Amino acid sequence: MNLQHILTVYEALPNLVGRNVKYVNISRDIRSRDLSQALQMLALARVCHLVYHASCNGIPLGAEMDKHTFKPLFLDVGLLLSANGLSMTDIPDVEALMLVNSGQICEQFVGQHLLYRQELYKQPELHYWLREKPSSNAEVDYVIASGQRIVPIEVKAGKTGNLRSLHQFTIEKGVDFAIKICTERPSLVKASGKMPDGRPYDSHILSLPFYLIEKLAYANTDFLKDVVLSIQSGGTLTPPIGRITRPQPGYASSGSR
């Protein structure tokens, strides 16, 4: 293995987080096969983790994984900031993250928590959904399985932007529940309407602020089951979800183990 190839990929990783990997964007002078091998070596060393596209037609998600379509996560959000020449003191709030690096840091933060939501003895695994068509591209940032449910998750750090890809997913996969990680207060709302092509969507959207991401970070909790029961009982948040408050200054969340 060529050490220079590994260094080239490593130096490119911070700018690749949350983006579909195209080797031409890493180097035009090194063959794709060599770059792929270098990236796999870094993944085996847990310097990065590869989040693979899955068709998401059923459980387990990995059964329909496309190993040629993926996006990387870096080792840790703090190290990602450092690699970009930043520190947390440079960023006053979550909205500023979107201005700094197009949401990559927010996607890293959420992704590293979701990645290790399984039991410790299981291999970390995370997927996303991508559809590339000439007139209707769509991407859902992450997709997880909770029991027999497929749950799409969209990361929205800014106050603007729509959920078109999330609605597209719920229509195509017949899903009636989705999650939005954002800066808003916790809420559960029923979203219905029509897509630009006229197809109707009708689902429940759970909005969780970034500081509650750990609610999704443990597979053995009943959090999502409680949300589903809330939907079945009328679509309102019930305790303990409704009692959650913002952590006090100094709160630190540890997403990677």
Inter-axis angle of helices 3-16 and 32-44, to 10 degrees? 80
59-100 pLDDT per residue, tens: 999 999 999 999 999 999 889 988 888 777 766 665 555 555
Residue 5 counted as domain residue: no
Asked, for residue 254, whether it belongs to a domain, the answer is no
Give domain status of residue 16, yes or no: no
pTM above 0.75, yes or no: yes
Residue 6 lies in a domain: no
pLDDT at position 155:
94
Would you say residue 111 lies in a domain? Answer: yes
Report the number of distinct structural domains present in the chain: 1
193, 244 in Cβ contact below 8 A? no
Let me know if residue 35 belongs to a domain: no
Nearest alpha-carbon partner for 145 in 54, 80, 12, 22: 54
Place of tokens 């998600």: 61
pLDDT band for 236, please (50, 70, 90 cuts): low
